[in-house]
Amino acid sequence: MPHASGYFRTRYERDLALLDTRVQKTASALLALALLAFPWIDSPFLLDLANQVLLASIGALALMLLTGIAGQVSLGHAGLLAAGAFTSGILFKEFGAPFWVTLPASALAGAMLGVVFGLPSLRLRGLYLAVSTLALHFIVVYAGNEYEARRGFSTGVVIDPPRLGEWALTDARAWYFVLLAFAAAALLFSLNLLRSNTGRAWRAIPGREAAAAALGVHVSAYKVLAFVISSTMTAIAGSLFAYYRGFVSAEAFSLFLTIQYVAMVIIGGLGSLLGAVLGAIFVTLFPYAIEWSMAVLPVPAQWSTHIFAVNYAAFGLVMILFLVFEPQGLVGIWRRIQNYFLLWPFRREPLSGRQ
């Protein structure tokens, strides 16, 4: 976080603090208030959008920890979401298990799958690792499909909403608070993790593994740990997704979902938690923005009958544009705006480097 001139940290507590300046504290408090007040807007559609964004941001944070921070490329994210969703779905369908059993069970399944997904990373790097996670994605989704076919749920598994005694979680506003709590927990957890030994070890690995090992980082252990933590968070998000939709189907976890999550991380900006959240917002809202602009703009009739195709094309185009012109992602744009005001009336940062 860049600061204007004249700002010095004088105590260790301030250096460790999550929020250290008054502006940051006020801004965060205002944001929290706005988020808490949001569900009272009178629009079920916007509320559903917000819930989708919150769900996506949990998964995006998990992928950011793995890919953006620890540098381990994964193309199996949808497989992990599917694993979480199917664990909850199967436990509910077969044993009638309540959510306080299925949610931890999903997390556990995610952790175990994380080990499986992570083991190839001990031998493989970069492209080969990405391919191995891609293969695992297909296998997990196949297992889900197989379950559906064997048990005769050919269209998918229907799940009842979570219950506490008499009260059932069905209201969109209640869901908003539950998802907000989970997303906030995921964000705080990730933030704290990055300030700890684990986070520093992860950041050291992508730079150069040999150098990280020389500094005393147990490279293979931390790689697998990155996979385990990321998959656990993802599986929890998958379980929440299943309950929120009330429905699990292998069709929902296509390769395109993986690509969407990877796009969130890329478009948001690799290596930044803020980027994960921004990316989640961008990618989730993108199809709705396309739909809206197609209703407003004059487009060929062929286009409006195949909105999904317009979506695909536009999404691919945006991904390419970001990769080519703004590899730093939305966070890069945000930092440039910040720097513009911080440095004013000057245009460039001093050559001696950042504070």
Partner 1 sequence: MQLAVNILVLASIYALIACGYVLVYRVSRVLNLAHGELMMLGAYALFATASSFPGHPFAAVAAAALLALAVGGLVYWLLMRRMTGEAVLAAVLATIGLGILLRGAMVLAWGPQERHPLQALGMSNASFAIGDARISSVGLLLFTATASVYLGLYAFLRYTAWGVRMRAAGQNPLLAAQRGIRLHAVYALAWGLSTFTAGLAGMLIASESALDQTMVVIGLKAFPAALVGGLDSLAGALVGALIVGAAEVLSIHYIDPLLAEVVPFLVLLAMLIVRPWGLFGAREELDRV
Q: Which residues bind partner 1 (CB under 8 A)?
A: 73, 120, 123-128, 130-132, 134-136, 138-139, 142, 145-146, 149, 255-256, 259, 262-263, 266, 302-303, 306, 308-317, 319-320, 323-324, 327
**Euclidean distance between CA atoms 267 and 282, whole angstroms:** 8
Q: Which is nearer to partner 1, 43 or 302 (CB)?
A: 302
Nearest to 35 by CA among 286, 281, 261: 281
Smallest separation, CB 244 to partner 1 (Å): 25
Smallest separation, CB 323 to partner 1 (Å): 5
Q: Which is nearer to partner 1, 178 or 294 (CB)?
A: 294
Burial 234-258 (b: 16+ CB within 10 A, else e): bbbbbbbbbbbeebbbbebbeeebb
Smallest separation, CB 32 to partner 1 (Å): 34
Is 234 in contact with 296 (CB distance < 8 Å)?
no
**Euclidean distance between CA atoms 55 and 33, whole angstroms:** 20
Smallest separation, CB 262 to partner 1 (Å): 7
Q: Which is nearer to partner 1, 88 or 132 (CB)?
A: 132
Q: What is the DSSP string of 53-111?
A: HHHHHHHHHHHIIIIIIS----S-HHHHHHHHHHHHHHHHHHH---HHHHHHHHHHHHH
Q: Which is nearer to partner 1, 141 or 159 (CB)?
A: 141
Angstrom CA distances, 350 to 3, 195, 342, stand at: 13, 27, 12
Q: Which is nearer to partner 1, 50 or 148 (CB)?
A: 148
Smallest separation, CB 326 to partner 1 (Å): 12
